[in-house]
Amino acid sequence: MAGKRKIHTAAFKALVALAVLKGDRTINSLAGQYGVYPMLIHGWKKQLVTGAEEVFGSPPGRALTQGVQHGSGGAVHIGSVHRATGGGQCGGRHGRPREGVG
């Protein structure tokens, strides 16, 4: 019986694809580092390159603010990725505002 398929987050795919575009490492070495097959990396790179037009083609600010929510304590939620920008915790409710926060 085969194992359960691993689902990679969009942030992980972007990280790997940007590492490929950087050009200082081969796809095979990145595949070994991140534990994925080289063919996956080729696909993610292609998605990143073809999707870049949407980022620059949309109205200014729309692509960057779409899906971004600010939580308490200066935490910024971007889809399922969050980064604390100041004091406090993000609350762990990825991509959704905390209850009772105005």
pLDDT at 1: 60
- HSE-CB at 63 with a 13 A cutoff on CA atoms is 10
> Each residue of 46-70: pLDDT tens digit?
999 999 888 888 776 655 555 555 5
> Each residue of 3-51: pLDDT tens digit?
888 899 999 999 999 999 999 999 999 999 999 999 999 999 999 999 9
Task: Tell me how far apart the alpha carbons of residues 102 and 99 are, in angstroms, rounded to a whole number.
Answer: 8
pTM (predicted TM-score): 0.54
In the predicted model, what is the mean pLDDT of residues 74-83? 50
Provide the edge-to-edge strand list for the sheet that holds 75-78: 68-70, 75-78, 81-84
pLDDT at 45: 96
